[in-house]
A and B are shown apart, each in its own frame.
Chain A
Amino acid sequence: VLKESKRAVNSILVDDDDEDEEDVERVSWSGEPVGSISWSVKETASSIRSGSEQSFPKIDTTPSLSKQGSGYSLSSLFKGNLHDLSPEETVRRMQKGRAFSLEKFRSLQDKLLLLDEAVAVYDGNVITAVLIFLKKSLSKEILFRELMARDVALRHYVHYLKEMGEQKLLVELLKALGRTEDMALMHYKEHLNIKDESRRRDFLKSCLSLPFSQDDATHVQDHYTLLERQIIIEASDKKAVAEIFKKFPRKASILNMPIITTLYYSCFYHYGESEGTFSSPSNIRKTFRISEKQYILTALGARAKLKSWFDVDSLFNTKNWLGYTKKRSPIGFHRVVDILHKNSAPVQVLQEYVNLIDNPDLKLGGALKYKCHDIVINTYRDLKDRQQLIVYREKLERDSPEYRKIQELLNNVQIRWKN
């Protein structure tokens, strides 16, 4: 019965709009013509009494706010006028996509009640609709102030402005809220829409004064410096005639590439240039505070690609106080071997670096993988592992030097094999 009464009340609330006509019957269960005064009053009374006795319970009541009394619904029943609906009823109608009117919500209090009601029913679509209405009918200072204490509505508003592309208003809003970092990021994001590199560079320059966090300020400064340098490098390399550019023509422009890609490019095309030039690896390394590890990794990749094994060697050479050179690396030598192998380094080169691997398991693994026979054989010899040597011998070509080496070892009576 409650359901029926509710439906009946709904049916009478419908105004003359024809889009409102749903499949609601026009006659009530008691047979009284719907819409007659006596009938509707009776209904209103019962609908007010009707608490919600439902099969599934409500679970969250925190956001429910003090609602206006039931006066609204009564008067609206008689007038059947959209303008007299309570915030609650208006929001219901908006949710269902029925005709509604927001004109009567003129006092700030009414506007906010409407907003809070929309938030209370969790309907993002309606929240945004109400915000659009508030945007048009309130000064932004007042709207901003009210949104400050309403997080859910605020986030909807920010998202709406983002989607509408109302950048200026958004920046003002964030400023008013004291969210200066967000504002700076929002502004910085605009650079993605600028295609022309000089304009982009200038835009990034204009970002430098924005109130970023300390960290981000450094990054944005780097971004500007990077693009500025890339533009210079690009302009000169586009018409470069040096041998390396002919031998390995550039596949793409260096503009807008990450710092590390730029470093790689510079190690590839501008290796050995003095630190004074913008395009030199050492300048880039210093300007962008690139760690030794990162530098070695990148330079190694570039020089190995060019098969400049000499350059690769000198990357790792360090002299000790006696003047002897020794190889040291901030990255594991097994990683170095991987990179060399990917660039098809010859076995002699690989062998030297496999030998430098600290971890004996990794070393043996690398030697097996890259067929550095000497290392494998010596490792098994040191392990006194006769069985493994025999197994390995079978993998080798008969009468190859390695094969003979194993043969000699196996015949050596002085070795005390463990198996």
Chain B
Amino acid sequence: MAHTEWRDAPELPDFSLLKRLARDQLIFLLEQLPGKKDLFIDADLMSPLDRIANVTILKQHEVDKLYKVELKPIVSSSDQLCFLIRPRIQTVKWISDLVNADKVAGRFRRYKIIFTPQKFYACETVLEEQGVYGDVTTDEWNFYILPLDDDILSLELPEFFRDNFLEGDQRWVTTAGSALHLLQSVYGSFSKVYGIGRCAKMVYESWRELMEEGEQRTRQPEFAKVFLVDRDVDFVTPLCSQVVYEGLVDDLFRIKCGSVEFGPDVTSSDKSIKVMLNSQDKVFSEIRNEHFSNVFGFLSQKAKNLQTAYDKRRGMDIQQMKAFVSDELKGLKQEHRLLSLHIGASESMMKKKTKQDFQELLKTEHSLLEGFEIRECITYIEEHINRQVSMIDSLRLLCLLSITENGLLSKDYRSLKAQYLQSYGIKHLLTFANLRQLGLLEEQQAGETLTVMESKVGKLVNDKTVGKLTDAFSSLAKKSNFRALSKRLALVPKSGEEYDLRVPRDMAYVFSGAYIPLSCKLIEQVLERDGWTGLEEVTRMLNGQEFAVTGAPNPRNKTDAQRIVLVMFLGGCTFSEISALRFLGKERDTYYVKQIEYMVNIKLSI
């Protein structure tokens, strides 16, 4: 997103400051263990760490050797071991075993665990139970937010979704609250907070508490509006195949922590190349939000221009050539390299995606979104399963069917589940149990069972708990109401209308004009109305839990900041949603900063 695209675009704050803060704190923590030490790093912390520090910085602070945490016995001759890990019980158990093994061997070392973004009591209890509490010192590295791009911030917590929505463990609520608190203390206060979802509410409360306890300080300039949204408010969007360039790159090659590894079929050489994907990449930044059908033409035009630029060399005299080499050649070469990579990527995309299979997959998804020819869709899904093609695609389709239809008919559910287990392995009955718990894949219940059960249980317990139980039951009985929502919010444009993907007219372009992401539509509506007024019916269908709150007004300050909106997806978001919000931002002259738990690409296996 080039700033120059809009005359009047608000300046985004410099998020690289967050990196510096995180780096400084890490250095401080490393210095708490003076002397040479070996550093063990959790595998999924390596990339985030790479974004803020490098080996030289670590070496400067007496880190000798670097290891990846693999939960296996270690070979290290160092007298000091430092562990940089996520607060996971399994990892702490492994460390305890190491310490105990050293003790048995009569070896003396110093151990330090740096938990990030915070420590959990459960982890410390493990140290205590294993008898190594005190032998191991612990610290916290409050590395809450990693800026992935000019307009994307990430908590890089892949387990957020599973812990919160599947297990019902709220351990990351305060983490998210602290992240908001951090942003506010660095960049200024929030003028307004909107949200929807149970987790969103809790995060808001947790952040508010932090704010109240915070030091009194002079009122800071306003920075942004905030929108908190639970992933389970909109499960439909992440279940759809992505068709904007960045989304497709993610679906096919998996973007991790802002970078992607292109295999030999893309690089047309024998090795893989790791590429950073962000607005620094000039080629990428122009195509990332485009529907993939436009990308190829764009790239070939670009290639032609590049050729012309190279051709300028002909007929140059020495002086001109010298200037060319020093001024332009480097840039051209860089562009050349990027261009050939993205051409390679879109070639393998076209190869995979223009196949009949993909066209049929998209057609089925669109029918499901529209609620059209459901029987045919089921037959297609069945065949997809029977042919044992992509396990994940089969599951995505099943979930999409369930959510859009408010659950599957009993006989369909049983038959599809049986066939799925036959094709992909019986152990996946655990996956089905998880998906049912999440409300992603359900069997339709006979209407009254729940209310009957509720009133029965209600009689058995006292009043105080009744409310909680009702909550629990209503979440059990949670219906997606997708059809009604889709109608109310006009998410699915009337079919038959031409949709020019070159000149998108609304956010539906991110799904080939077939569907406007529910999450993004909600955000648009709420910001337009400055609240939930008029959306009562919608929120009722989304199980309520919406809120909109204003901070103390600050009339002096009506600046650009009013136009920055920080959207926090609790449980992850997709690149399609990011593209849709960028589109919205362009239209409304607003900047959307996306803060996410993790990029999801729905993966819910056991």
Contact = CB atoms under 8 A, between A and B. Distances in A.
A399 interface: no
Interface string B427-442: 1011001000000000
Interface string B199-234: 001101110110111011000000000000000000
Interface string A49-62: 00010111111101
Interface stretch (A168-176, A220-228, A403-411): A220-228
A220 B426 CA distance: 7
B555 interface: no
A128 B121 contact: yes
A164 B427 CA distance: 22
B418 interface: yes
A189 B422 CA distance: 18
A335 B383 contact: yes
Contacts of B187: none
B388 interface: yes
Most buried by A among B89, B425, B429: B429
Given A155-B168, A163-B90, A123 B206 contact: yes
A6 B125 CA distance: 31
Given A163-B122, A258-B423, A297-B386, A60 B201 contact: yes
B208 to A, nearest CB: 5
A185 interface: yes
Nearest to A160: B122
B467 A62 contact: yes
A124 B173 contact: yes
Given A189-B606, A297-B387, A152 B163 contact: no
A87 to B, nearest CB: 16
Contacts of A121: 205-206, 209
A216 B163 CA distance: 25
Given A4-B216, A260-B388, A261-B388, A226 B426 contact: yes
Given A122-B206, A124-B172, A163-B122, A155 B549 contact: no
A151 B208 contact: no
Nearest to A96: B213
Given A123-B170, A123-B206, A159 B163 contact: yes
Interface in A19-60: 52, 54-60
Contacts of B552: 55
Interface string A2-27: 01101100000000000000000000
B105 interface: no
Contact of B205 (A58, A125, A185, A257): A58
Contact of A219 (B122, B386, B421, B465): B421
Nearest to A221: B426
A88 to B, nearest CB: 12
Given A122-B205, A129-B122, A57 B549 contact: yes
B423 A260 contact: yes
B494 interface: no
B57 interface: no
Q: Size band of the A side of the interface?
A: 35 or more
Contacts of A260: 386, 388, 422-423
Interface in A134-171: 149-152, 155-156, 158-160, 162-164
B383 A159 contact: no
B168 A123 contact: no
A258 B425 contact: yes
B169 A124 contact: yes
A191 B193 CA distance: 47
Nearest to A263: B422
Interface residues of B, number: 66
Interface string A68-110: 0000000000000000000000000011010000000000000
B363 interface: no
Interface string B469-482: 10110000000000
Contacts of A185: 429-430, 433
Contacts, number: 164
Contacts of B386: 260, 293-294, 297
B414 interface: yes
B422 to A, nearest CB: 4
B171 interface: yes
Interface in B451-468: 461, 464-465, 467-468
A250 B277 CA distance: 41
Contacts of B388: 258, 260-261
B170 A127 contact: yes
A288 interface: yes
A256 B425 CA distance: 8
B424 interface: yes
A302 interface: no
A414 B418 CA distance: 58
Nearest to B443: A215
A240 to B, nearest CB: 25
A214 to B, nearest CB: 10
B93 to A, nearest CB: 9
A247 to B, nearest CB: 24
A357 interface: no
A59 B547 contact: yes
Contacts of A192: 427, 606
B297 interface: no
A3 B499 CA distance: 57
A111 B430 CA distance: 35
A94 B122 CA distance: 12
Nearest to A66: B464
A190 to B, nearest CB: 11
B171 A222 contact: no
Interface of A: 3-4, 6-7, 52, 54-60, 62-63, 65, 94-95, 97, 121-129, 132, 149-152, 155-156, 158-160, 162-164, 182, 185, 188-189, 191-192, 215-216, 219-220, 222-223, 226, 256-261, 288, 290-291, 293-294, 297, 331, 335, 338
26 contacts: A6-B213, A7-B215, A7-B216, A56-B193, A56-B551, A97-B119, A121-B209, A122-B206, A123-B174, A124-B169, A124-B172, A124-B173, A125-B122, A128-B122, A132-B125, A151-B471, A152-B170, A156-B170, A162-B167, A163-B88, A192-B427, A222-B421, A223-B426, A258-B388, A294-B386, A297-B387
Given A59-B549, A294-B422, 19 more contacts: A56-B208, A56-B550, A58-B205, A97-B119, A123-B173, A125-B121, A128-B171, A152-B168, A152-B170, A155-B167, A215-B414, A219-B421, A258-B423, A258-B424, A258-B426, A259-B426, A261-B388, A335-B383, A338-B356
